[in-house]
Amino acid sequence: MNFDSIMLAAVSHELQADILPGRVERITQPSPLEVIIHVFAQGRKSALLISLDPMMARIHLTRESRVNPVTPPAFCMLMRKYIAGAWLEGIEHPFGLGERVLRLTFLQSDSVRYLLFVELMAKHSNLVLTTSDLTILGAVKTITTQISRFREIRPGIKYYAPPRMRSAKRDIFERDAGADLPDLTFLSTSGASDWLMATFSGLSPLMAREAVARAGGSTLTSETVWYGLNDLLNAIRLDEYAPVQFTIEDGLAPGAYPVPLASIPAARQVRWTSFNKAIDDASSTGAIADAFTRERAAILTALRRALKTCQRELIDTSEGLLNADRAEEYKQIGDLLLSQAKEIPPNIESISLEDYFASENSEPREIALNPRLNAVDNAKHYYSRHKKARDSYERLIERQDVLTQTAQAITDAISQAEEALEIGELTAISAGLGWEATRRMRQHAAAREPEEDTVRDSFAGHRIHRYHSVDGWEVLVGENATSNDYLTTKIAQSNDIWLHARAIPSAHAVIRSQNRPAAVSTAALRLAAEQVARRSDAKHAGLVPVDYTLKKHVRKPRGAAPGAVTYSHEKTIDVTPAE
């Protein structure tokens, strides 16, 4: 519900008649964006609601009770300090009817006046309390120069009117707003309403559609559309309001308006005696529809995130299966290393050996080696990889099947949620198929979570975590500055992949590439990056940029503190921190 300038004018017209002058009895703030001023006027109590909700920013009298927090928010305490017990003596449009800003004037018992500016501008809505000379005392939303370079709102500085973002537009309430209009003919009602929105300021989409509907005639021109807009504006000029509440096809009441609407069938409009009451009732009913919209958006977001996770796990599993298919290759390499161990010199990174398993006259097989191990130990390493790949094949096949079924279940749940029409259907989805799918994923979490093993003895007592990706790559992650330093300077080899969060403090991580950095899988890289992000200052962020490069491009400056390094040739991957 868009609270436009005509609605604001109608509300202020009624408020001036109903609660002026009135004494402020109580001030409450049920939520961060809602303030209620309880006023006693004309022998009755009234509650003036000011809502800064981005979707439903509005001001009106309300009869709906709201639960208040145990501890009042800071702005509520500020309001109580300055205007509790004061007289509400004025409600005005300080910057003209075209601006959605109201000014409430309060007179305290010591004859000091305070001003409350109500700015109803969608996501930019605000509530600002000032002294009579416009010095800001406080606001619901404090705006600094880091947030907006156009206008600051903070205690101690002067209050200024909100800037007009589109000054080239004509103000519909100016006397010559309709002068020298271009001679245009519109082929559709949408074209006419778009022209109105682009030409005049202070219009809402509903006002533009209503102006076109009031233009009449078979041909829409700029002149007839302007006359239709003037017919609508006469309600404000003459204070002739006849409030209605309009409904849409499903019977919900999403809005109210100060005058009957020509753009909506009369059968879907109900007359009300008070616009404040009409909009209060409509906003309460609209909140139900809004709750449904938000609930559906929340469920769809959760399901889509689960589907994305599932699809990512499927990719990782496919890579793991590719590695598992190499089980026989790893065994052959181990056999070749043992059979020709005497011919392999120590401390080398690779060697070409005669391949007994290939056909005759074939090329020698190039084998990557760990220079810190001898030939026998390198063979044992390849046998270990053979065993891991062989044993993981059946587990990965089972996991791939579960993930495929889960992805299909989540996809079906997304389709159901997109077609849902009421909260009950969303509840059934969240309790049924969609969450059942994610539950099955959680049941198999052990299969997809990286294996972790912290072994202090292997790293001279330093806290370094060891993980293995689904396809067998070893990942080491430091826990603190000294362990980061030891990992980077003492353990990592020149062709290992080194990781660190971009431009923020974080852990160091190393992927043991076995001198084959190009062969390191995406799954291993993502695992290492997620663990780095988890141990960074941005661990609560949605996405964290993590740099990675080869260890040979990482350098510790002379005299630098433990863990302090510089690096180059980096690339960046954005990841969600691991839980």
In terms of DSSP H, where are the helices of 504-556?
522-534
The phi and psi torsions of 527 (rounded to 5 degrees) equal -60, -50
CA distances from 19 to 2, 133, 280 (A): 24, 25, 16
User: Cα separation of 319 and 524, whole Å?
Assistant: 10
Q: Whose CA is closest to 480, among 451, 454, 503?
A: 454
User: Cα separation of 461 and 548, whole Å?
Assistant: 26
The DSSP bridge pattern shows strands 185-186 and 554-555 to be: unpaired
User: Cα separation of 489 and 486, whole Å?
Assistant: 5
Are residues 10 and 134 located together in one domain of the fold? yes
Q: Please tell me the predicted confidence (pLDDT) of residue 455.
A: 44
pLDDT digits 0-9 by tens, 503-525:
888 999 999 998 888 888 888 89
What three-state secondary structure class fits 100?
A: coil
Residue 348 reports pLDDT greater than 80: yes
Domain boundary among 115, 139, 163: 139
Q: Whose CA is closest to 256, among 197, 201, 206, 209?
A: 206
Domain boundary among 448, 477, 502: 448
Are residues 388 and 463 located together in one domain of the fold? no
Are residues 380 and 334 located together in one domain of the fold? yes
Structural domains in the chain (count): 4
Burial state string for 473-509 with b = 16 or more CB within 10 A and e = fewer than 16 = bbbbbbeeeebbbbbbbebbbebbbbbbbbeeebbbb
Residue 285 lies in a domain: no
pLDDT digits 0-9 by tens, 233-252:
888 888 889 999 888 655 55
Q: Please tell me the predicted confidence (pLDDT) of residue 18.
A: 93
Q: Please tell me the predicted confidence (pLDDT) of residue 275.
A: 93
Residue 294 lies in a domain: no
Residue 314 lies in a domain: no
Give yes or no for a contact between 366 and 350, defined as CB atoms under 8 angstroms apart: yes
pLDDT digits 0-9 by tens, 437-477:
444 444 444 344 444 444 444 677 788 999 988 667 899 99
Min mean pLDDT across 31-35, 390-394, 399-403, 409-413 is at 390-394
Are residues 190 and 128 located together in one domain of the fold? no
pLDDT digits 0-9 by tens, 20-38:
999 999 999 998 899 999 9
The DSSP bridge pattern shows strands 200-201 and 170-171 to be: parallel
Are residues 93 and 209 located together in one domain of the fold? no
Are residues 199 and 184 located together in one domain of the fold? yes
The phi and psi torsions of 229 (rounded to 5 degrees) equal -65, -40
Q: Encoding tokens for residue 257?
A: 């308006």
Give yes or no for a contact between 115 and 105, defined as CB atoms under 8 angstroms apart: yes
Residue 148 lies in a domain: no
User: Cα separation of 55 and 165, whole Å?
Assistant: 20
Q: Please tell me the predicted confidence (pLDDT) of residue 149.
A: 77
Are residues 516 and 570 located together in one domain of the fold? yes
Residue 65 reports pLDDT greater than 60: yes
Give yes or no for a contact between 140 and 81, defined as CB atoms under 8 angstroms apart: no
Bridge partners, 351 (sequence order): 367
Are residues 487 and 545 located together in one domain of the fold? yes
What three-state secondary structure class fits 376?
A: helix
Q: Encoding tokens for residue 309?
A: 């996770």
Q: Please tell me the predicted confidence (pLDDT) of residue 250.
A: 52
Are residues 563 and 455 located together in one domain of the fold? yes
Q: Which residue has the tokens 């431009």?
A: 503
Residue 223 reports pLDDT greater than 80: yes
Q: Residue 377 sits in which domain range?
A: 320-448
Q: Whose CA is closest to 447, among 579, 320, 577, 574?
A: 320
